[in-house]
Structure 1
Amino acid sequence: MLATTFKTRKGLENISARHRSLLAVNLHESACQIRNTNCTAKDFFHTAKLQGVNKDKTMLLHPQISVLVAFIWSLPSLSLAGKILVYPVDGSHWLNMNILLQELHQRGHKLTVVRSANSWYIPENATHYTSITIQVNHLSSLEDPKYMASFLKRNIDIQRGKGSIWSFLALQKEIITLLEESHRSTAEMVRVVLEDEKLIKTLKESKYDLMLTDPGFAGGVILGAYLGLPMVFNVRWITNAEGHFAIAPSPLSYIPTIGSRVTDKMSFANKLKNIMHFGIGQYIDHMLTRPLYQGVISKYIDPNTNVYALIQGADLWLMRVDFVFEFPRPTMPNVVYIGGFQCKPSKPLPDELNKFVESSGEHGVVIMSLGTLLGSLVPDISEIVASAFAQLPQKVIWRHVGEKPSTLGNNTLVVDWLPQNDLLGHPKTKAFVTHGGTNGIYEAIYHGVPMLGLPLIFDQFDNIIRLEARGVARMLDVATLDVDILTQALKDILDEKQSYQKNMRKMSSLHRDTPLKPLDSAIFWLEFVMRHKGAAHLRTESYKLPWYSYHCLDVLALIMSLCTAAGLLLILISRALLRACVRKIKAKKE
């Protein structure tokens, strides 16, 4: 079936370039509609032919071509029918991984998801994949929603000045401990998988075409390497840094590291800060992260390699990045950018919510959500937020769990859950108050909604700083937040005379203006790797070089040695000639 499908599609290559271009432009939307609806091939051909007439009356689509393409696209089972082993990361990372899986399933692929028995995001039973549940001895902190919510609130308290310097240092230690426990749990889980001979036999006999994983935690990387599968990453972060740092040149003079909170335009002090954060990250990676995985790697793969080298050896990187948001930087041929692939048009709101939104009139609404982990802020900040919202002419929809603030205004609707994408896509939505998670950021960019950032932890600060640099957001510090500061920031964001709205409309237009939707691009390249059993021709061999060879320090050392030797030789010859001349002069005088 797989080979037949490829031969059928390959036959399309014989079509003239003129027809292929017309097919690409005129049939893409209709083909996508067929895949997602019950539209018949006959309906598709009729629609495509009409599109051909409307787009260019001098060129009509060839009927046989239209029917063939319609037939291929309308039968998901013929699209590829590959077998994919998926090893995801829990939490918010799963949300966008699941979107990829749903699309892959719709195209006829068979998916197997490896999950922890303690997972709180990844369901064991689903219609679009089969799961393999692994029992592990202990619960990782990242898999415990109560712990994470408590951790975030403690972090806010310390930022608000309620903690001493010792509690601040304790929090930093807790962050490192949290990451250590999570990597340890990941290493333990993949060890359990590899020690299960029956499971490994089943995985090998299943003859998977691909390993799809998130390298933020390296369990899937190790399992994929052990099974010898072509590897594709759904990635932004690796075990110790942003993904580009593992595979592409990343000069620290203009590329910020995580936690540095600087832009690509750095002063001397910014560069010093950036280098220090990079050094700390490297230290943690070498002293903490890599040793946790090394035992498993040495036993089951190769004692002479490490987790970083395994990550660098991936065939393809589906990078959750769009350069309308990220700062420009060097890249590699095996990196495909799919930032915002989870974004989609909004759906109609539930009746009660829609009535509230429509009642906002010309002023519109403001949306506030701080992600899935933090349903509510500490009480004093909640009171500040409620007071600031009460002073706005806009209506406000606020995701807030727990006791309602006493200063809550009549214009504010508090909900336990909200359809974030659908609200952001509503024409009356004027601003989005967010913690700076990338999923919400890309949804806001897609729908053209400016943001007010209240970052709390990890990469959220860096995300909002990037938006500030683009002129589409404002960042506030919870440590200094008060009613006046928050109210003024909201008014600035909402003011049409300010540039936030205009800049965000432009940013949204740039984000949408692509020849292929990010999700379609991701699926194409996943299938590309399956068709060709890897993509080694796109991967550089730099990761196999020792660090001194990568930076040509060995060559530089040789050149410097030769230059030094030549210089010394020149000095010796000069001294000898000088002495000879001196002796000759003395001899003449005598």
Structure 2
Amino acid sequence: MGESRKLLLFVSNPGEGVFNSLRVIAAELARRGTQDLWFASDEARRADIEKIDEGSGVRFASLGETDPNSSPADWDDEMYRLATQRSRWKAHHAVVRRGFDPKGGGDKYLALDALVEELEPALMIFDSVNPVALLVALNRRIPFVLSSPFLPSNLYIAKTPRGFPMLHTGLPLNMSFPQRVSNIMFKVRAGLMFLHPKMLKPALEGLSYMRQLQLPREFLSPSAKIDRADLVLCYTVFGLEYPFPVPDKFHLLGAIIPPLPEAPDDDDLSRWLDANPSVVYIGLGTISRLTGHEVHAVVEVARRLEGRHAVLWKLPSGQQHLLPPRDELPANLRIESWVPSQLDVLAHPSIKVFFSHGGANAFHEGLYFGKPQVIRPLWVDCYDQAIRGVDSGVSLTVDDPQTIDVEDVLDKITQVLNTPSFRERAEHFARVQREAGGVRAAADLILANLALK
């Protein structure tokens, strides 16, 4: 291809947490008439990209089938238990070990490298947890943009000030003495983790693999993706994230929200929301695996709210067999296995509080629509969002995330509903996120990149 081509290549892991924001940005660029847009991901994401029909459209390139072990939704019960256990350190260690792949995905690397050789993109845009795309971009010397729904300190922890909470600790900025000790120990153990035999062996294998591909070993450095990126787009704002200095290439844009409504034909749910002026929305994430006890506890929470508030609960179909018989469910509870658009739900004025798992996307999307939250953190980074929600005055966290205690959850929901400051702070961060620019600002920054001039 000639140098006049200014082709943009999006690359994404298939997980919804990182995929959705890139899909929305690609659609925005297509809507503006941007030519030569490509999107590479696993075959399972083909339909999501091919249905983007705005403007110039986006062409899809498959990187093959999804590794069933790569998605948390597909983990076996033991891995799920390890990743969501009570110990913050042990959960962090388990997740890092599971995702540690110094070979950069092997076949995925070769597939993406061949695609890049064919397309010769002027710029790559990919998620911040994508070692395959990073290695290809670095090796081919292609300018790239990082996309991250995570807190910027999650990416830039090595540059945060002394005493800043380590990622995945769930610790506040202002720590007690025991918390400071815990934070230091967490950092030390994280630094030594790669000397563990189960981490050292694959790391050495990765170095050997890098030599085979003739890639410099410094490409494996944790800071390589930040140091070499043209732009880093993070979907939060300071005030939710704790303050710390970031380089000019970091842009905090707030949640990435597409044009709404996403599901304009969902009349039945819309009518139900219209008919219930105060609704608690429960969406505990696609990864959560509730026990029978926890499912019955949520039903009881809804029962206790009857007469004052309705409850909309997104409960996956695979867990609905744990529900009591239909005739024993409270009249104020509506259960959906899937909502066509969680964003449409959160945008509805009847939603007064969001009971969530505290995932980065759910946390910021809820606040984008001014919804205060009650958070039951599921795993690693969810604890970081949860403590920032408490410190910014937009949410409360359940006392014991390892279970669902009816009295505690009901108390937290009632406090958030009845205390105006939670709604006021949530609405404040709704305004701040909109001012940050979201998807429009992301598209502007990408199109302004010198690689496209």
TM-score interval w.r.t. the shorter chain? 0.7 to 0.9
Q: Percent identity?
A: 19
Q: Which amino acid aligns with 2:20?
A: L
Contact 1:149/1:373 (<8 A) preserved? no
Match of 2:67 among 109, 122, 139: 139
Greater helix fraction, Structure 1 or Structure 2: 1
Give the distance between the partners of 2:93 and 2:433, measured in 1 at CA: 38
* 2:11 corresponding residue in structure 1: 87
Q: In the alignment, is residue 106 of structure 1 matched against residue 54 of structure 2?
A: no
- Contact 2:150/2:235 (CA < 8 Å) preserved in 1? no
Deviations, residues 538-575 of structure 1 (Å, cap 9, x unaligned): xxxxxxxxxxxxxxxxxxxxxxxxxxxxxxxxxxxxxx
Q: Deviations over 1:111-131 (max 9, x none)?
A: 2333345x5688585554333
- C-alpha distance 154-531 of structure 1, shift in aligned 2 (>3 A): closer
C-alpha contact 1:252 1:274 (8 A) present in aligned 2: no
Of 480-489 and 123-132, more deviation after overlay is shown by 123-132
Distance 1:426 1:151 in 2: 36
Q: Which amino acid aligns with 1:147?
A: W
Q: Does 1:394 align with 2:318?
A: no
Matched, 1:260 2:174: no
CA positional deviation for 1:354: 2.4
- Aligned: 1:352 with 2:268: yes
Are residues 429 and 116 of structure 1, via their aligned partners in 2, closer, same or farther at CA, if it must alter by over 3 Å?
A: closer
Structure 1 counterpart of 2:105, from 175, 181, 187: 187
Equivalent in 235, 255, 278 of residue 320 of structure 1:
235
Cα deviation digits, residues 175-212 of structure 1 (max 9, x gap): 454223xx267431344337xxxx63x63353311011
Q: Distance in 1 between matches of 2:93 and 2:176?
A: 29
- TM-superposition CA deviations, 1:278-317 (whole Å, max 9, x none): 2333334576385564334333354452322531212211
Alpha-carbon contact 1:222-1:297 (below 8 Å) kept: no
1:152 and 1:457 in contact (8 A); partners too: no
Q: 1:357 to 1:425 in 2, by over 3 A?
A: same
Larger Rg: 1
Higher relative contact order (CA 8 A, sep 6+): 2
Q: Residue by residue, what CA displacement relative to the aligned partner does 1:106-152 show, whole Å, maximum 9, x if unpaired? A: 232322333345x568858555433333347x925123733267744
Q: What's the C-alpha RMSD, in Å, of the aligned pairs?
A: 3.4
Question: Is the counterpart of residue 370 in structure 1 residue 322 in structure 2?
Answer: no
Residues 279 and 389 of structure 1: CA distance in aligned 2, closer, same or farther (over 3 Å): same
How far, CA to CA, are the matches of 1:333 and 1:155 in structure 2? 34
Aligned to 1:305: 218
Partners of 1:120 and 1:143 within 8 A in 2: no
**Which of 437, 443, 447 is matched with 1:523 structurally?**
443
Which of 215-224 and 276-285 deviates more?
276-285
**Match status 1:469 vs 2:394:** no
1:129-528 equivalences under 5 Å are: 129-135=58-64, 139-143=67-71, 145-147=73-75, 151-152=79-80, 174-180=94-100, 183=101, 186-193=104-111, 200=114, 203-236=116-149, 242-245=154-157, 249-253=159-163, 255-284=164-193, 288=199, 291=204, 293-308=206-221, 310-311=224-225, 312-342=227-257, 345-346=260-261, 350-361=266-277, 364-374=278-288, 377-392=290-305, 393-401=308-316, 402-403=320-321, 405-406=323-324, 408-418=329-339, 419-476=341-398, 477-479=400-402, 481-495=404-418, 497-514=419-436, 517-528=437-448
Contact 1:349–1:423 (CA<8 Å) still a contact in 2?
A: no
> Matched residue of 2:30: which SS?
helix
Pick closer, same or farther for the CA change 1:295–1:185 going to 2, 3 Å. Answer: closer
Q: Give secondary structure in 1 for the equivalent of 2:425.
A: helix
Stretches of structure 1 that go unaligned for 5 or more consecutive residues are: 5-80, 160-164, 534-590
Check whether the contact 1:235–1:317 (CA below 8 A) recurs between aligned residues: yes
Displacement of 1:505: 2.1
Render the CA deviation track for 1:354-410: whole Å, top value 9, x for unaligned. 23223324xx11111112233x51110111111011111201110113225326311
SS of 2:116 mapped into structure 1? helix
- Corresponding residue for 1:583? none
Aligned equivalents of 2:190 and 2:39: distance in 1?
A: 30
Please say if residues 236 and 242 of structure 1, whose CA atoms lie closer than 8 Å, have aligned partners that are also in contact.
no
| Contact 2:123-2:144 at 8 Å conserved across structures | yes
Tell me: CA distance 1:417–1:236, structure 2 relative to 1, closer, same or farther (3 Å): closer
Write the distance in 2 (CA, Å) between the matches of 1:121 and 1:380. 38
Deviations 1:417-455 (A, max 9, x none): 123111211111111010011212122111111101011
Q: Are the equivalent residues in 2 in contact too, given 1:226–1:300 (CA < 8 A)?
A: no
Partners of 1:86 and 1:257 in 2: CA distance: 30
- Quick one: distance in 2 between partners of 1:150 and 1:359? 43
Rounded Cα–Cα distance in structure 1 between residues aligned with 2:185 and 2:387: 19
Name the TM-score, length of structure 2 as normaliser. Answer: 0.83
Give CA deviations for 1:310-365 in whole Å, capped at 9, x if unaligned: 3121221112231131111111011122221226555667322123223324xx11
How many residues are paired up? Answer: 429
The one-letter code matched in structure 2 to 1:334 is: K
Q: Please report how far the alpha carbon of residue 102 of structure 1 lies from its aligned counterpart in structure 2 after TM superposition.
A: 1.1
Write the mapping of 1:5-154 to structure 2, written as runs, cut at 5 A.
Answer: 82-91=6-15, 92-107=17-32, 108-117=34-43, 119=44, 125=50, 127=52, 128-135=57-64, 139-143=67-71, 145-147=73-75, 151-152=79-80
Per-residue CA distance 1:240-284 (angstroms, 9 max, x = gap): 9711235xx31131x222121111112332222222222333334
Shift of 1:520: 1.9
Partner secondary structure for residue 390 of structure 1: helix
Equivalent residues of 1:153, 1:377 under 8 A apart: no
- Separation of aligned partners in 2, 1:171 and 1:245: 18
Given that residues 12 and 126 in structure 2 are in contact (C-alpha distance below 8 angstroms), is that contact kept between their aligned partners in structure 1? yes
Q: What is the alpha-carbon distance in structure 1 between the residues aligned to residue 422 and residue 391 of structure 2? A: 11
Whether the aligned pair in 2 keeps the contact of 1:94 and 1:122 (CA below 8 Å) is: no
SS at match of 2:448: helix
Give the partner amino acid of 1:473: S
Deviation by residue 1:25-58 (Cα, 9 ceiling, x = unmatched): xxxxxxxxxxxxxxxxxxxxxxxxxxxxxxxxxx
Distance 1:280 1:415, change over 3 A: same
